Amino acid sequence: MTKSSAAGDGREPDVQETGYEPDPRRWRALWVTLVAGFMSLLDVTIVAVALPTIQRDLHASPAQVQWVVSGYALTFALALVTAGRLGDALDRRRIFLLALSGFVICSAACGAAPDITLLVVARLAQGLAAGFMAPQNSALIQQMFRGAERGRAFGFFGGTVGISAAAGPITGGAILALASGGQGWRWIFYVNLPIGILAVLLGRRLLPHTQRSGRGHVDVPGVLLLGAGVLALMYPLVQADSGGLGRLWWLFPVAAAVLAAFVQWQRRLVARGTQPLLDPRLFSTVRGYAVGAGVGTLYFIGFSGVWLVFALFYQHGLGFSPLRSGLAVTPFAVGSAGAAVVAGRLVERFGRLLTVCGLTGVILGLGGTALLLRYGPIGTAPWLAAPVLLLGGIGSGFVVSPNITMTLRDVPVHMAGSAGGALQTGQRLGAAVGTAALPGLYYLMLGRNGDHRGALAVALAAALVGMAAALALALSDWSRDRREHGPRRTCPDEVANNPMHTRQT
């Protein structure tokens, strides 16, 4: 962005934006952050296939072993916005490397845990480290890239986000199949060690420092309010399998009240001219941010929950091994990987239209898969569904990657960390809703009639409701964009120099 664009929406110019010079190591640095980001996001789902083995080996209760997954997701989400702001205020490189080092240490602690209590504690710490690392990824892309290169970089980043969720089941299944003995689940954590150590060493060499711009204030009351609000919102969701929604429903209105107080506090800081934790103007003046955050949250409600539902259906309904269950959903991961890279190159030309087409493809793909697995021949239905899952994966690649690009591309660099953290917090909240609601619905329908195929169809139909809501929001934004600017897409430099493109969302 240029100085004129900053003035056009009332923001002060950012020295990082006006003094940009391409770093010759930026593409190599990007791959370091992508590998680390993939590793942290993969750990959200990779552990799920090993839960029965962990429960048996550590003599844990179902409620205890569930915290191995849900505890990680909880602390991950709690850290995101605060970590993003600290990266903006201090040094993204330093925060990233410290968090990555902590993630590696916690992975070793998880693998060596002698009992379920220490495993859960190590997973909570591991999730916190992942949450501090994640927003630095998108912020470093904002810092290192401009113009069409930024779209390509976000294409790779979006592909990493999408593939990590889909690849978790097959990666976990493969590790369990290759590891020998009853302690094989420990290698799910140990595999992070060589990858993480190499990423730390390369990151120290390749990652750029953040230029200090005088914005070193950290909003401590905002941190406390946002943390309390997110905790109150997510805790019943991560406890859903043990009846948390029924026991802890009262935390939802508490969360709404605390988050409303957080918003008012942020507005008060802006009025005073003090740097807030999360600037409300991101949602009101930065073009595309509010819509992109909404699309991402709604999409992840359905996207994240379907993998647990597929694992339940294939392993318990059809008797597949964890590896075979993961292989059955591989076409989705393959389609998502390829499409995300292509989408990164097309997003500046087609914009929100890519998201609209992608969401349509995902809905058709998962809807067709639900019909085939419900009514197709039981012996061949999983393989007949593979081409339809591939279509859904291609659609997903055109959703996640372009949406991240369009949501963050007009964000000033000095706000990139907190903006990326807020975007990923919405995605984590959506994922928490999906992973609690969809398996719960699957078990509810299974308990009524014992029909795994019918339970799968109902759960996937519920996932499609969230994706249809995301499609409606994307269609609305695309239609409004065409009315305001016509069918031609502008390049990033035109956007930066034309204040009319910074519109209310």
| pLDDT classification of 475: cutoffs 50, 70, 90 | very high
Helices marked H in 241-351 = 244-247, 251-272, 281-284, 289-312, 322-328, 330-350
- 66 or 350: which carries more pLDDT confidence? 350
- 424 or 260: which carries more pLDDT confidence? 260
CA distance 249 to 241: 14
Mean pLDDT of the region 445-449: 83
Q: What is the largest CA-CA distance in the chain?
A: 66
Which two three-digit tokens encode residue 407?
A: 């949501």
Residues 230, 234, 238: CA angle, nearest 5 degrees: 155
- 294 or 148: which carries more pLDDT confidence? 294
pLDDT at 8 over 50: no
pLDDT at 3 over 70: no
Q: What is the reported pLDDT for 322?
A: 74
CA distance 411 to 216: 18
Tens digits of residue pLDDT in 116-142? 999 999 999 999 999 999 888 888 888
Mean pLDDT of the region 345-358: 86
Contact present, 84 and 102 (Cβ < 8 Å): no
Q: What is the reported pLDDT for 364?
A: 95
User: Residue 37 phi/psi, 5° resolution?
Assistant: -65, -40
Contact present, 398 and 361 (Cβ < 8 Å): yes
- State what percent of residues in the chain have pLDDT above 70: 88
| pLDDT classification of 6: cutoffs 50, 70, 90 | very low
Q: What is the reported pLDDT for 285?
A: 80
Which two three-digit tokens encode residue 443?
A: 């078990």
- 167 or 329: which carries more pLDDT confidence? 329
Neighbours of 179 (CB within 10 A): 18
CA distance 77 to 485: 36
| pLDDT classification of 216: cutoffs 50, 70, 90 | low
Identify the CA nearest to 471 among candidates 344, 367, 341: 367
Computed on alpha carbons and rounded to an integer, the radius of gyration of the chain in Å comes to: 22
Mean pLDDT of the region 171-193: 83
Please classify residue 486 by burial: count the beta carbons closer than 10 Å to its beta carbon, then call 0-12 exposed, 13-18 middle and 19+ buried. Answer: exposed
CATH level 2 (architecture), domain 22-218+277-501? Up-down Bundle (1.20)
pLDDT at 467 over 90: yes
CA distance 436 to 361: 25
CA distance 87 to 414: 9
CA distance 410 to 414: 12
Tens digits of residue pLDDT in 267-306? 898 888 887 887 888 888 888 888 999 998 899 888 877 8
Q: What is the reported pLDDT for 485?
A: 66
CA distance 231 to 77: 9
Neighbours of 275 (CB within 10 A): 20
| pLDDT classification of 32: cutoffs 50, 70, 90 | very high
- Output the average pLDDT for the chain: 81
Identify the CA nearest to 34 among candidates 202, 174, 169, 210: 202
HSE (side-chain half, CA atoms, 13 Å) at 484: 15
| pLDDT classification of 162: cutoffs 50, 70, 90 | low
Mean pLDDT of the region 20-35: 86
CA distance 223 to 228: 8
Q: What is the reported pLDDT for 107?
A: 95
Amino acid at 178: L
Which two three-digit tokens encode residue 170?
A: 């097959």
Which two three-digit tokens encode residue 261?
A: 């107080």
Mean pLDDT of the region 312-317: 84
- 163 or 30: which carries more pLDDT confidence? 30
Separation of first and last alpha carbons in the chain = 19
Please classify residue 72 by burial: count the beta carbons closer than 10 Å to its beta carbon, then call 0-12 exposed, 13-18 middle and 19+ buried. Answer: buried
Tens digits of residue pLDDT in 57-113? 898 887 788 788 878 888 888 888 888 888 877 888 999 999 999 999 999 999 999
Q: What is the reported pLDDT for 19?
A: 56
- The winner for highest mean pLDDT among 104-118, 179-193, 197-211, 323-337 is 104-118
Query: What are the DSSP calls for 451-500, one per residue?
Result: -HHHHHHHHHHHHHHHHHHHHHHHHHHHHHHHHHH-SPPPPHHHHHH-GG
